[in-house]
Amino acid sequence: MIDDAHRMGTKEDASLLWDVFVLRCAAVHCLVWGAFIILFPAASADVYGYAKPLTDLFLWQGAGLMILLLGIGYSIASLNPRQHWAVVLIGLIAKTLGPIGISWSVWNGEISSGVLLLIPFNDLLWLYPFAIIVLRGVRSDQTRGLGGQSV
């Protein structure tokens, strides 16, 4: 009799599929959001709740480019999450510091408090999955004797 673990694959296979799924979802999210900021900077600035129209939209588009580049990074990381965990770590740091910066801007009256509604969907949603992916990547490196350094 074949047990469920052999019939359905190993737990490691399932966790790897989950990591790939999460990273592909994050990639699509960042590619769409980054493209929105780049292609429609004034409209996206309104979504972010800037109190006055931005005069230097090209700087805002630069932020969109960074988001788009994270999407490309997540796409690459999804090809081998155990090897490319450091890319996910960069995303985890961005998803941690981003809400702090946005909250600071709201506190100082630079942007509307309505932007805080974006934080759960753009940032907080990814914290746990990214932390798990990074942890699995570091453990994988340690198991292979790489000492926590991705190659």
Q: At 5, is the pLDDT very low, low, confident or very high (cuts 50, 70, 90)?
A: very low
d(CA 73, CA 144): 23
Is residue 151 assigned to a domain?
A: no
Is residue 149 assigned to a domain?
A: no
Is residue 15 assigned to a domain?
A: yes
Is residue 95 assigned to a domain?
A: yes
Q: Which residues contact 83 (CB under 8 A, 6 or more apart)?
A: 137, 140, 150, 151
Report the first-to-last Cα separation within the chain, whole angstroms. 40
* Residues 27 and 60: beta-carbon distance below 8 Å: no
Percent of the chain topping pLDDT 70? 88
Percent of the chain topping pLDDT 90? 58
Looking at residue 61, the DSSP 8-state letter turns out to be H
Is residue 150 assigned to a domain?
A: no
**pLDDT tens profile 66-122:** 999 999 999 999 999 999 999 999 999 999 999 999 999 889 988 888 888 888 989
* Residues 113 and 49: beta-carbon distance below 8 Å: yes
Q: State yes or no: pLDDT of 11 exceeds 90.
A: no
Please name every residue paired with 111 in a beta bridge, in sequence order, or none if there are none. Answer: 50
| Tally of domains within the chain | 1
Top-confidence range, 43-47, 78-82, 141-145: 78-82
**Torsion over CA of 87, 90, 92 and 93, rounded to 10 degrees?**
170
Domain, as residue range, for 18: 4-43+52-143
Is residue 132 assigned to a domain?
A: yes
